[in-house]
Amino acid sequence: MIIYILKKNDIQTDIDEYNKFKISDATQDLYKELEYFITKTEKAENHGKLSIIIDTQKNVEIKISKLGKLLKKQTAEFVSPFREDNIFHFPKQFSDDTDCLSFVDDNLKEYIEEEKIEDVKQRIKKKHSALIEYIVGDINLLTSKRKKIDTTIAEINKDFKNSNFVSVIQEFKMDTKDTANKIVQVLLEIKKFHDENTYDFGEPNLFSGQKMEGNNQKSIKLLTALLKNLKTNTQQTEINLEDIFELKFKATQNNKDTGWKNKLSDVGSHGTDILLKAMIYIMLLNVFKEKAAKKSKFKDFRLHCIMDEIGRIHSKNIKSLIEFANRRDIWMIFGSPEENDALAYKYVYNFEKEGSITTATRLIYDKRN
């Protein structure tokens, strides 16, 4: 009799648990999902206590919910690094849980099981290695030009040392230094990486070493850094020779060393600045003149160099500047709004303009001609 009462109480407990499971706010959604299987399937002859089954279903539902949230979080973290127009066509975000699960089941699962990501990685390696080869080709062209410029600067420095006539300037030097341009800095890093790992990045080959995988990651980081700097400096649409390096100047004026300066105007006074510029231009012309003479059948020829505002140079240096240029077969044509040392020139003309007519009058006549 006691056993019967216990069974009856157990049945009533199960019925109460079932009704609570069916109508409770916390579990009615789960019940709706399981209702078909509860009401339509054949009744089992033997089964455990209904309250235990309900608790088991609740725990399973909680576990599934946690796993679903974890899956959505990890999926969102997985796709977050990809751009909107990524080559996998992965979405950047999901509208709801169903959208996320559909992506995992229809897209991501396929890429993982069929190793499509590995295929894409191989294609990316091939593309990024080709891109680096293309970049290095252009950078090599520009850096080779810098070497020629360094050679030219060395010739100018030597010429100035041997022919300096400016008493206040005891020494003057020019040199190049690495650029502060962030884009160029990354491009030069890419070139250095390529030169040090020519056969150890990109697709595997006969000469590949153990560093290939690490080098591939490094090359991608370098390209990513380049892209970042390009986005930051949107106004720079191209890289020219002047972006590869910067000029610096140094002088000893009145026995005082100025140190290396980024601007020629910081080396001396305004007049000295103009004079140094004039000498640099003349020496540059002389360098290119000599190079042209070696390639031309005309070995002996002269150049004309025009300079305006010559009055800014001290009169005592004008004659020396003319002689400096003449020794290099370069004839100077000066222009100035004011008269200065007329005897320093072979010919002097005065230009006057009335309306659209300009009149030139020769002021000094050289009887030697």
- Give the model confidence (pLDDT) of 57-78 as tens digits: 677 777 777 877 888 888 888 7
Model pLDDT, residue 63 = 76
Angle, helices 182-196/116-163, rounded to nearest 10 degrees: 110
| % of residues, the chain, pLDDT over 70 | 74
Tell me if 153 sits within 8 A of 284, measured CB to CB: no
The answer, yes or no, to whether residue 336 has pLDDT greater than 80, is: no
Per-residue pLDDT at 106: 74
What's the pLDDT at 188?
92
Do the beta carbons of residue 279 and residue 128 sit within 8 Å? no
> What Rg do the C-alpha atoms of the chain give, in angstroms?
42
The pLDDT confidence band at residue 4, using thresholds 50, 70 and 90, is very low
Strand partners, 353: 358
The answer on pLDDT for 224 being more than 80 is yes
pLDDT surpassing 50 at residue 32: yes
Task: Give dist(CA 100, CA 114) in Å, integer.
Answer: 20
Task: Choose between 339 and 243: higher pLDDT.
Answer: 243
Most confident of 79-93, 103-117, 311-325: 311-325
**What φ, ψ does residue 152 adopt, rounded to 5°?**
-65, -40
Euclidean distance between CA atoms 331 and 329, whole angstroms: 6
pLDDT tens-digit map of 185-203: 999 998 998 888 877 776 6
How many C-beta atoms surround the C-beta of residue 249 within 10 A? 22
- Over 50: is that where the pLDDT of 116 sits? yes
Residue 365 to residues 187, 250, 340, 349, 351, Cα–Cα distance (Å): 59, 42, 17, 10, 16
- Residue range 146-161: mean pLDDT, rounded: 88
For residue 1, the model assigns a pLDDT of 39
Centre a 10 Å sphere on the Cβ of residue 168 and count the other Cβ atoms it contains. 16
Q: Taking the C-alpha atoms of 283, 284, 289 and 295 in order, what is their torsion angle to the nearest 10 degrees?
A: 130
- Across all residues in the chain, what is the average pLDDT? 77
Residues 275, 263: Cα–Cα separation, whole Å: 14
Average pLDDT in the 292-312 region?
A: 77
Residue 369: pLDDT band with limits 50, 70, 90? very low
Are the C-beta atoms of 179 and 245 separated by less than 8 Å?
yes
Residue with the bigger pLDDT between 170 and 38: it is: 170
State the virtual CA torsion across 319, 325, 326, 327 in degrees, nearest 10: 110
Q: Which residue has the higher pLDDT, 270 or 135?
A: 135
23-32, 48-57, 137-146: lowest mean pLDDT where? 23-32
Q: How far apart are CA 172 and CA 280, in angstroms?
A: 10
Determine the number of helices (DSSP H) and then strands (DSSP E) in the chain.
Answer: 10, 7
The beta strand positions in the chain, using DSSP E, are 169-178, 245-253, 256-257, 303-307, 330-334, 348-354, 357-364
pLDDT band at 10 (very low <50, low <70, confident <90, very high): low
Note the pLDDT tens digit of each residue in 167-177. Answer: 777 888 899 99
Least confident range from 33-37, 60-64, 147-151, 343-347: namely: 33-37
User: Cα–Cα distance between 20 and 161 in angstroms, integer?
Assistant: 103
Model's pTM, two decimal places? 0.56
Tokens of residue 211, six digits: 């560093």
Identity of the residue numbered 74: Q
In angstroms, the CA 125 to CA 143 distance is 26
Give the number of other CB atoms < 10 A from CB of residue 273. Answer: 18
Query: What share of the chain has pLDDT > 90, as a percent?
Result: 3
pLDDT score for 23:
63
Between 58 and 261, the more confident residue is 261
Question: What pLDDT is attached to residue 18?
Answer: 65
